[in-house]
Amino acid sequence: MIKHNDIKQRFGILGNSPKLDRAIEVALQVAPTDISVLITGESGTGKEAMPKIIHHTSQRKHENYIAVNCGAIPEGTIDSELFGHEKGAFTGANDNRKGYFEVADGGTIFLDEVGELPLSTQVRLLRVLETGEFMKVGSSESQRTDVRIVAATNVNLDKAIQKGKFREDLYYRLNTIHITIPPLRERREDTHLLFRKFAADFADKYSIPSIRLEEDAIDLLLNHPWPGNIRQLKNIAEQISAVEQNRSVSAKKLQGYLPKVKSNVPVIFNEEQKEGDFSEREILYKVLFDMKNDLNDLKKVTADLMNGNQSISKENEAIAQSVYEELEENPSIVISAPTHEIKESIMTLQGHEKILIQKALERHSGRRKDAADELGISERTLYRKIKEYKL
């Protein structure tokens, strides 16, 4: 039986975290099979090591292993890259081309950032998983391929499915075996070990003495959340190695290289975080508050007219026009108000409107055009309102 330490040494994996050991154990258990594997974890956790372990400890180890970063290939060319194309299939296709699935026949293909695949490509990939067949771009003939697929992503695929950006049937095909790579904050015991390894590597690369962290710097290192995970830790180690003259680094020095983080619990990327900071409820309350003010102003105008005040102020005339323009654009507004006062105002809005129209028609002896001009609405809208209120 292959030992974990042998695997770690062979594939350059450092750490003794139980969660990391569990991920390696699952990879070794499924390697002899042809089961599809989905690897998830935050960006920078080292997901690319697992498919290598799976391939090189499987019966396919003497065949091709191809790693493809799906997020780095333009949408217009990804089908050609994965499945190949026929000569003349599109502008620039001057020759027949083999795709990765044809080249990797008999071996393993690693689809990194599989969550970035376009939906049309996901359909093609699903066919490969279900039947082992694919068609080149521009061809009508199916070809067979015997490929073991290992996929990885830092995208929350459950949310991507809900948003219609990832096919549910493809998710279940890929997710036969699920391996989760723990973030660095969940394997703090490995952080200093990794930092020392990176520092030693850069010292050898640049022919300089290796840097060493003082005790307070080690404490800071272990308690930092590392949102960029191992990739970020390696980057910091390289910066310090190249810049610092003093090879003994204090916490104060180390702090200068650490970016400020808003939260010490970073999560797998969630596209919903791109949306605005204001919730729908906050926006609704703002709209209702503005409408309440408009309705109060409308009440004043209505009171003037009901009291027979023929000379409406310019300010109230502008208010009336503004309100009626909004009513003209949205004649069927229905709002559930959060307070009794606003609800009451909205319920009486139609009554106020009917009175306003009635008074305007009386003042202009039934001349609709003149009444519409006074009310600030179109003659067509006024005609519709007259029929609606049976005036």
327-372: pLDDT as tens digits: 455 544 444 444 444 444 444 556 667 888 888 888 888 888 888 7
**Which of 182, 202, 230 corresponds to the end of one domain?**
182
Q: Is the pLDDT of residue 217 over 50?
A: yes
The percentage of residues in the chain with a pLDDT greater than 70, rounded to a whole number, is 76
Please check whether residues 49 and 161 belong to one and the same domain: yes
* Phi-psi group of 142: left, alpha or beta (phi > 0 → left; psi -120 to 50 → alpha; rest → beta): beta
CATH of the domain at 66: 3.40.50.300
The percentage of residues in the chain with a pLDDT greater than 90, rounded to a whole number, is 60
Strand, coil or helix: 152: strand
- Are 128 and 104 within 8 A, CB to CB? no
Q: Would the pTM of this model clear 0.85, i.e. be above it? A: no
- Which pLDDT band holds residue 98 (cuts at 50, 70, 90)? very high
- Are 58 and 46 within 8 A, CB to CB? no
DSSP 22-52: HHHHHHHHHTTS---EEEE--TTS-TTHHHH
Please check whether residues 192 and 178 belong to one and the same domain: no
**Which of 182, 208, 229 corresponds to the end of one domain?**
182
**Which stretch of 3-12, 104-113, 142-151, 268-277 has the lowest confidence by average pLDDT?**
268-277
On average, the pLDDT of the chain sits at: 82
Please check whether residues 200 and 72 belong to one and the same domain: no
Please check whether residues 109 and 229 belong to one and the same domain: no
Total tally of structural domains belonging to the chain: 3
- Are 360 and 386 within 8 A, CB to CB? no
Please check whether residues 257 and 298 belong to one and the same domain: no
- Are 82 and 124 within 8 A, CB to CB? yes
Please check whether residues 26 and 133 belong to one and the same domain: yes
User: Residue 4's pLDDT is what?
Assistant: 78
User: Residue 294's pLDDT is what?
Assistant: 59
Q: Is the pLDDT of residue 193 over 60?
A: yes
d(CA 79, CA 88): 15
- Are 60 and 105 within 8 A, CB to CB? no
Q: What domain range is 243 assigned to?
A: 185-272
Q: Is the pLDDT of residue 263 over 50?
A: no
First vs last C-alpha separation in the chain: 92
Kindly state the tokens that stand for 92: 């620039």
User: Residue 355's pLDDT is what?
Assistant: 80
Any residues with CB less than 8 A from the CB of 130 and at least 6 apart, and which? 173
**Which of 162, 182, 202 corresponds to the end of one domain?**
182
